[in-house]
């Protein structure tokens, strides 16, 4: 008969085996590939000693291909819960040392179990992905496991924050879990994501492309927008996840905690000289953002993708806010297909997690051209219009310079439900630029003039005088106040505090039909 000590020894032996994953050799290989192991990642991510593992002794049930003789406790994924800066989170980390982190039926069941718990309890879930995809020895059972996860990703969407870190391979259908979650952060040089890998690409399209080029971190951060952020290595990635979480609430019924800040008189003179006198000269909207927010609090999303618009989280008086801002330094800040999609997605992320929105506007209009039209700028621009129109969080706008045409409406105008709209004194709010407008409405007069060029200049000045300012909009109440740039932070602190208890009820419906 087994003694009590024997039983304890047996448990310890099982636990030790589970901790070892696929064994020391494979752990060494993981380290040689500049990657941490799944367990090391979890330990780094969570507060020290806070991790509680669930299902450490789970094993796969496959008997095909001699799999009954290859049993590893945990089955290639470590799951459980713990805290980050004292906040409860659920997490899973795929263990590449066990069958390449591939996803079996039981591996999927483990992930689903903690996803279900996270939703019931109302706490964020963080997935650390590092996997060779479907467990090849399991066939359709593995595919079913993926779909079970995807389904839960969708049900949890907008209920709890879901963050995906891609820290190794993530290929085939496996990419669709990160794609559905709120944020995907990729590690540079060691991670990649694609639906079909370089070999299939070569066979089907005859293109020669490396994994890195096809789906590495840089590709997805600059070309596809699949990655919201990239990090230099595993440690930086886990730090990025922790920082990101600090801007998000536990779930959609909560708001983020206010961090303590000591407020002064909050006049920021630095904002006075950022916008150049000439309205055609670019300037860096990031300087405006920095001038408004709490020091060092900007966390940019999609920094190198669709750069004519900037989106990201920041703190204002210790509170988390989302910022959407046209960037005059990139394509003069125009709205295009990708910048509209980027801002629309960010708007919805903020709205579902009760994060107020600040929209900084300097937009000359939508980007013209066949490329844009044929790629559906109508539909993609509509996404941003739709997302902002349906957002019920506090929404405040500051027009720093241009707000022209349809883009004026789209960029959080009063008409689509913004709560408070400011403009700086140099704002130009009109249907179109003075030159284009004059060429159309004064065409005959200009043509008949002795010197058409002088006439155009005269008419342009006349139009600009009449419309390229914020006063017509302020007279109508479309702008609530014209403020000096240096007062912007002070005003916004008061406005967001005033809006804190905003409640908007919408008519009952299943869901809207956002143009996708
Ligand atoms: C079972 C797998 C595996 C998999 C890797 N391994 N992928 N076992 N199923 N999908 C095992 C390997 O046999 C090896 O076992 C160990 O993991 C490490 O793999 P290596 O090849 O040695 O590592 P590396 O050289 O770093 O290459 C990593 C890799 C490669 C690029 C991911 O392993 C690979 O190409 N794997 C197959 C990828 C794939 O085709 N997956 C299915 C995609 S379809 P040992 O015992 O030697 O340590 C898919 C559909 C999902 O995922 C659909 C969802 C809807």
User: Does the beta carbon of 347 sit less than 6 angstroms from any atom of ligand 1?
Assistant: no
Alpha carbon of 343 to ligand 1 centroid (Å): 36
User: Does the beta carbon of 60 sit less than 6 angstroms from any atom of ligand 1?
Assistant: no
* Closest atom, ligand 1, to C-alpha of 133: 52
Rounded distance, CA 395 to CA 385, Å?
Answer: 14
Rounded distance, CA 108 to CA 19, Å?
Answer: 19
Alpha carbon of 56 to ligand 1 centroid (Å): 22
What confidence tens digit (pLDDT) does each residue in 491-508 have?
Answer: 999 999 999 999 999 999
Find tokens 């559906």 and name the residue: 376
Which tokens in the block code for residue 315?
């703190």
Which tokens in the block code for residue 386?
């739709």
User: Does the beta carbon of 102 sit less than 6 angstroms from any atom of ligand 1?
Assistant: yes
- Nearest CA to 335 out of 388, 396, 292, 272 is that of 388
Rounded distance, CA 250 to CA 256, Å?
Answer: 8
Q: Could you tell me the mean pLDDT of each successive run of 10 residues in the chain, 516 residues long?
A: 94 95 97 98 98 97 91 96 98 97 97 98 98 93 97 98 97 92 98 93 94 97 98 98 98 93 91 94 98 97 98 97 98 97 98 98 96 96 98 98 96 98 96 86 91 91 89 96 98 97 95 96
- Nearest CA to 50 out of 6, 90, 96 is that of 90
**Using CA positions, which residue lies closest to atom 24 of ligand 1?**
100
**Using CA positions, which residue lies closest to atom 45 of ligand 1?**
99
**Using CA positions, which residue lies closest to atom 55 of ligand 1?**
173
* Closest atom, ligand 1, to C-alpha of 101: 17
For residue 422, the cross-strand partners are 398, 481
Evaluate whether 292 touches 270 at the Cβ level (below 8 Å). Answer: no
User: Does the beta carbon of 197 sit less than 6 angstroms from any atom of ligand 1?
Assistant: no
- Crossing angle for the helix pair 38-45 and 234-245, to the nearest 10 degrees: 40
Rounded distance, CA 366 to CA 378, Å?
Answer: 10
Which tokens in the block code for residue 486?
């240096």
- Nearest CA to 256 out of 246, 268, 271, 269 is that of 246
pTM: predicted TM-score of the whole model, two decimal places: 0.95
User: Does the beta carbon of 461 sit less than 6 angstroms from any atom of ligand 1?
Assistant: no
Evaluate whether 423 touches 311 at the Cβ level (below 8 Å). Answer: no
For residue 409, the cross-strand partners are none
Alpha carbon of 135 to ligand 1 centroid (Å): 8
What does the pLDDT read at residue 172?
85
What does the pLDDT read at residue 1?
87
Rounded distance, CA 257 to CA 34, Å?
Answer: 36
What angle (nearest 5°) sits at the alpha carbon of residue 295, between those of residues 496 and 125? 75
- Crossing angle for the helix pair 377-390 and 337-352, to the nearest 10 degrees: 20
What does the pLDDT read at residue 312?
98
Backbone angles phi, psi at 221, to 5 degrees: -85, -20
Evaluate whether 92 touches 127 at the Cβ level (below 8 Å). Answer: yes
User: Does the beta carbon of 133 sit less than 6 angstroms from any atom of ligand 1?
Assistant: yes
Find tokens 């937009």 and name the residue: 363
Please state, as a whole number, how many other Cβ atoms lie within 10 Å of the Cβ of residue 455: 17
Please choose from 24, 71, 102, 132 the residue to mutate so as to test ligand 1's pocket, defined by most ligand atoms within 8 A of CB: 132
User: Does the beta carbon of 174 sit less than 6 angstroms from any atom of ligand 1?
Assistant: yes
Alpha carbon of 93 to ligand 1 centroid (Å): 16
Q: What is the CATH number of domain 4-245?
A: 3.90.226.10
Rounded distance, CA 339 to CA 325, Å?
Answer: 10
User: Does the beta carbon of 135 sit less than 6 angstroms from any atom of ligand 1?
Assistant: yes
3-state secondary structure of 18: helix
Evaluate whether 229 touches 191 at the Cβ level (below 8 Å). Answer: no
User: Mean pLDDT across the chain, nearest whole number?
Assistant: 96
CATH 3.90.226.10 region(s) of the chain? 4-245, 269-433+468-498
Q: Which residues contact 22 (CB under 8 A, 6 or more apart)?
A: 72, 95, 96, 97, 98, 99
Q: How far is CA 481 from the centre of its chain?
A: 31
3-state secondary structure labels for all residues of 167-198:
CCEEEHHHHHHHHHCCEEEEECCCCEEECCCH
Alpha carbon of 269 to ligand 1 centroid (Å): 57
String of DSSP letters for 373-432: HHTTHHHHHHHHHHHHHH--S-EEEEEEEEEEHHHHHHTT-GGGT-SEEEE-TT-EEESS
ipTM above 0.85, yes or no: yes
Using only the alpha carbons of the chain, give its radius of gyration: 27
- Crossing angle for the helix pair 452-467 and 434-441, to the nearest 10 degrees: 120
Alpha carbon of 13 to ligand 1 centroid (Å): 28
> Which one-letter DSSP state was computed for residue 103?
B
Which tokens in the block code for residue 374?
């044929």
User: Does the beta carbon of 169 sit less than 6 angstroms from any atom of ligand 1?
Assistant: yes
> Which one-letter DSSP state was computed for residue 65?
G
Please choose from 100, 139, 196 the residue to mutate so as to test ligand 1's pocket, defined by most ligand atoms within 8 A of CB: 100
What does the pLDDT read at residue 379?
98
Q: Which residues are catalytic?
A: 172-173, 406-407
* Closest atom, ligand 1, to C-alpha of 168: 32
**Using CA positions, which residue lies closest to atom 32 of ligand 1?**
132
What confidence tens digit (pLDDT) does each residue in 154-213 have?
Answer: 999 999 999 999 999 998 888 999 999 999 999 999 999 999 999 999 999 999 999 999
User: Does the beta carbon of 171 sit less than 6 angstroms from any atom of ligand 1?
Assistant: yes
Q: What is the CATH number of domain 269-433+468-498?
A: 3.90.226.10
Alpha carbon of 33 to ligand 1 centroid (Å): 15
User: Does the beta carbon of 146 sit less than 6 angstroms from any atom of ligand 1?
Assistant: yes
Instruction: Compute CA distances 201 → 51, 206, 379, whole Å.
Output: 41, 7, 29
What does the pLDDT read at residue 436?
84
Rounded distance, CA 415 to CA 429, Å?
Answer: 14
CA trace torsion 196, 197, 199, 203 (10° rounding): 30
Q: Is the dihedral of CA 117, 121, 127, 133 positive or negative?
A: positive
């Amino acid at each position: 008969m087994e003694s009590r000590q024997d039983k304890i020894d047996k448990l310890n032996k099982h636990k030790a085996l589970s901790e070892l994953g696929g064994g020391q050799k494979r752990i060494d290989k993981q380290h040689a590939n500049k990657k941490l192991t799944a367990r090391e990642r979890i330990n780094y991510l969570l507060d020290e000693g806070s991790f509680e593992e669930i299902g450490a002794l789970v094993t796969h049930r496959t008997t095909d291909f001699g799999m009954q003789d290859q049993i590893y406790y945990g089955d290639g994924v470590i799951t459980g819960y713990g805290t980050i800066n004292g906040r409860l989170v659920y997490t899973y980390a795929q263990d590449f040392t066990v069958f390449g982190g591939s996803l079996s039926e039981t591996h999927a069941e483990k992930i689903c179990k903690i996803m279900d718990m996270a939703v019931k309890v109302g706490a964020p879930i963080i997935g650390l992905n590092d996997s060779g995809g479907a467990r090849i020895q399991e066939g359709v059972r593995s595919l079913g496991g993926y779909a079970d996860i995807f389904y839960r990703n969708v049900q949890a969407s907008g209920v709890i924050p879901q963050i995906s870190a891609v820290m190794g391979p993530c290929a085939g259908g496996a990419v669709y879990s990160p794609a559905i979650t709120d944020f995907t952060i990729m590690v540079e040089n060691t991670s990649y994501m694609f639906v079909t890998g370089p070999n299939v690409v070569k066979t089907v399209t005859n293109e020669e492309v490396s994994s890195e080029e096809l789906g590495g971190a840089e590709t997805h951060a600059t070309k596809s927008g699949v990655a919201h952020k990239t990090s230099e290595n595993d440690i930086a990635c886990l730090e990025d996840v922790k920082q990101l979480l600090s801007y998000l609430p536990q779930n959609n019924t909560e708001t983020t905690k206010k961090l303590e800040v000591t407020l002064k008189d909050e006049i920021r003179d630095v904002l006075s000289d950022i916008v150049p006198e000439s309205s055609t000269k670019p300037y860096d909207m990031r300087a405006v953002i920095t001038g408004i927010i709490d020091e060092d609090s900007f966390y940019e999303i999609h920094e190198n993708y669709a750069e004519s618009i900037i989106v990201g989280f920041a703190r204002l008086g210790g509170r988390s806010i989302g910022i959407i801002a046209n960037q005059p330094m990139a394509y003069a800040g125009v709205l295009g297909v990708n910048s509209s999609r980027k801002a629309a997605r960010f708007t919805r992320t903020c709205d579902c997690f009760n994060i107020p929105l600040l929209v900084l506007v300097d937009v000359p209009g939508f980007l013209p051209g066949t490329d844009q039209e044929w790629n559906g700028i109508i539909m993609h621009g509509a996404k941003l219009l739709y997302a902002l129109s349906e957002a019920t969080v506090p929404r405040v706008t500051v027009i720093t310079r241009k707000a022209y045409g349809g883009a004026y409406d789209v960029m959080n105008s009063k008409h689509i439900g913004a709560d408070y709209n400011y403009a700086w004194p140099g704002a130009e709010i009109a249907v179109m630029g003075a030159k284009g407008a004059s060429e159309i409405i004064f065409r005959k007069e200009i043509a008949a003039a002795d010197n058409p060029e002088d006439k155009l200049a005269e008419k342009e000045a006349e139009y600009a005088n009449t419309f390229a300012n914020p006063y017509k909009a302020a007279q109508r109440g479309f702008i609530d106040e014209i403020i000096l740039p240096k007062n912007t932070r002070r005003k916004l602190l008061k406005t967001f505090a005033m809006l804190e208890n905003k409640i908007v009820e919408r008519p009952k419906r299943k869901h809207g039909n956002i143009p996708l």
